[in-house]
């Protein structure tokens, strides 16, 4: 896969992620969930710009056995699966679980692609995307911890402040 194919695939993935996060925000039952997913949707827009900037900074070279169509198919199946499960009756906790699952799957895919990449620019591109997915996962995990157990969340947060 060359860098243009990688960029195209990543852009499609980020656009679909934004769409999913917009749906979760619209369906949110509490303000924390709504704000979390609105923020993530906005982050996807920033990632799209970062991907475009990255693309402008590297030269494409053919590499890798993985086809763009194969990767796009994996993402389309994942997004369809998450979209089917994220029905309007899904509660906020389930939306967070689905979001964490999507971020983990995206991270794992980008990790595999970075390990398979022969071209150093393509490898760096996928490592960059892995880092972005990891940051999203952590954010969703913290919001999930807060809405599923606010008392535990505050106790843990206060414990860290007292220790620091």
Determine the average pLDDT of the residues in 69-91: 52
pLDDT digits (tens, 9 = 90+) for 2-19: 667 777 888 888 898 899
> Could you tell me the pTM of the whole model?
0.70
pLDDT digits (tens, 9 = 90+) for 41-77: 998 888 888 787 777 765 443 343 344 454 445 445 5
The torsion defined by the Cα of 42, 45, 49 and 54, in degrees rounded to 10, comes to: 90
Determine the average pLDDT of the residues in 134-159: 82
pLDDT digits (tens, 9 = 90+) for 100-127: 998 998 899 889 888 988 878 778 888 9
Give residue for tokens 């760096």.
Answer: 124
Q: What is the reported pLDDT for 27? A: 92
Write down all domains in the chain, each with its CATH number in brackets.
3-163 (1.20.1260.10)
């Amino acid at each position: 896969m060359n860098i243009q194919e990688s960029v195209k695939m990543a852009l499609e993935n980020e656009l679909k992620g934004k769409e999913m996060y917009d749906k979760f925000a619209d369906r949110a039952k509490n303000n924390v969930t709504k704000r979390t997913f609105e923020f993530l949707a906005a982050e996807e827009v920033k990632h799209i710009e970062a991907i475009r900037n990255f693309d402008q900074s590297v030269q494409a070279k053919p590499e890798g056995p993985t086809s763009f169509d194969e990767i796009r198919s994996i993402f389309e199946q994942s997004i369809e699966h998450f979209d089917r499960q994220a029905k309007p009756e899904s509660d906020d906790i389930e939306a967070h679980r689905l979001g964490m699952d999507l971020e983990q799957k995206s991270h794992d895919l980008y990790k595999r692609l970075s390990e398979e990449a022969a071209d150093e620019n393509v490898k760096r591109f996928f490592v960059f995307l892995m880092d972005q997915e990891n940051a999203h996962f952590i954010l969703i995990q913290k919001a999930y911890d807060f809405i599923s157990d606010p008392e535990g969340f505050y106790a843990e947060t206060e414990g860290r402040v007292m220790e620091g």
